[in-house]
Amino acid sequence: MRWWGAGREGPGRRGRVVAGLAVVVAGLLLFHRGVPGSVGSLLESFLPWFGPVVVVLFGLALLRRSGVASVALVLPVAAWAYVCGGLLLPGEGAGSGAYGLVVVQHNVSDENPDPAGTARAMAGAGADLVALEELVPPALSVYEEVLASAYPYHAVRGTVGLWSKHPLSGVRPVDLRPRGITEPWDRGLRAVARTPRGEVAVYVAHLPSVRVRTSGLASSRRDESAGRLGDAVAAEEVGTVVLLGDLNGTVDDRGLDPLTSRMGVPGRGLALSFPAAFPVARIDQVMARSATVGRIRTLPATGSDHLPVLARVTPDTP
């Protein structure tokens, strides 16, 4: 009976399966946009996790003592470095460099058992702007009370809110409601923050949840809301725009193309934010137009099922 690595294979045959898998992994990393429909969207949500897959394949190549497999593994290693490697490079931290807005994004969870503790953690982050989602009574009043001293300006629309150290104006809801939803559904707001570098339009959004199925992602409502949000950003007259929100998708997910095609995303930092117990993806996002988003990182866990994320956003020089 032959097992993995057993038998009298010649050096040209040994490790061909591993080599084939290496080529497939490299192809999926580089050409994930070619995978159709919701399956492709699901694949794009977990691209960084191809890294551990490559490590496993490398271990199998060593076990097989296969030169063919080892050479083939150059392909997925290079592909992963090209697609995801930049996220691991050092970059500007949130507390260094030229002037910028330090921002925090956090879905606080409508089932959070400790809203006061979560609010204190947000106040202690030292951010200029704090965006929160899943704000529900009576926890909302707790957030307003605890954050008041650090953030004299705030706005809440429905279940999303923005706290700011800078004056806010032009506050209005943003309609992200997908078709077919008839109940109250206010998950978007827009406000203008008057900062030392000028006006910044700030959007806070909570897009619909998606469901992972064997056929891919059930994401039609999320995608529709993303399209509505993208249209709102495109129509925004203030030049500098910052988007903070639980977008229920990663920046590689094609469902967020209406946003990522119009806005810059962090080039450094994995900041996996969900679920908090064992984060596998960053669905809490910071994006910007006419500004650069620096390295993004997670903050310590709160009572939520999401981790907060923090980044510095630096407006472009006029």
Report the sign of the C-alpha dihedral through residues 95, 96, 99, 103, in that order: negative
The answer to whether 31 and 252 have CB atoms below 8 angstroms apart is no
Q: What is the pLDDT of residues 130-186, one digit of tens each?
A: 999 999 999 999 999 999 999 999 999 999 999 999 999 999 999 999 998 888 899
| Statement: residue 92 has pLDDT above 80 | no
Confidence bin at 9 (pLDDT 50/70/90) = low
Arithmetic mean of pLDDT, 288-303: 97
Arithmetic mean of pLDDT, 75-81: 91
Q: What is the pLDDT of residues 93-143, one digit of tens each?
A: 444 445 789 999 999 999 999 999 999 999 999 999 999 999 999 999 999
pLDDT at 96: 43
pLDDT at 184: 83
d(CA 308, CA 121): 10
| Statement: residue 270 has pLDDT above 50 | yes
The answer to whether 175 and 142 have CB atoms below 8 angstroms apart is no
Q: Tell me, what DSSP letter sits at residue 21?
A: H
130 vs 3, residue with greater confidence: 130
pLDDT at 95: 42
pTM over 0.75: yes
The answer to whether 37 and 217 have CB atoms below 8 angstroms apart is no
- Compute how many other C-beta atoms are within 10 angstroms of the C-beta atom of residue 263: 23
| Statement: residue 8 has pLDDT above 60 | no
Lowest pLDDT segment from 94-98, 216-220, 290-294, 309-313: 94-98
| Measured CA distances, 14 to 19, 66, 111, 123 (Å) | 9, 6, 54, 58
| Statement: residue 37 has pLDDT above 90 | no
- What is the percentage of the chain residues whose pLDDT exceeds 90? 67
pLDDT at 197: 87
Q: What is the pLDDT of residues 188-231, one digit of tens each?
A: 999 999 999 899 999 999 999 988 766 666 889 999 999 999 99
pLDDT at 247: 98
Single-letter amino acid code for the residue at 293: V
pLDDT at 11: 52
| Measured CA distances, 250 to 118, 128, 131 (Å) | 24, 24, 18
pLDDT at 150: 97
- Domains in the chain, start-ordered, CATH in brackets? 16-83 (no CATH), 101-315 (3.60.10.10)
**133 beta partners:** 107, 160
Q: Tell me, what DSSP letter sits at residue 231?
A: H
Q: Tell me, what DSSP letter sits at residue 11?
A: T
pLDDT at 4: 43
| Measured CA distances, 223 to 34, 60, 179 (Å) | 18, 39, 11
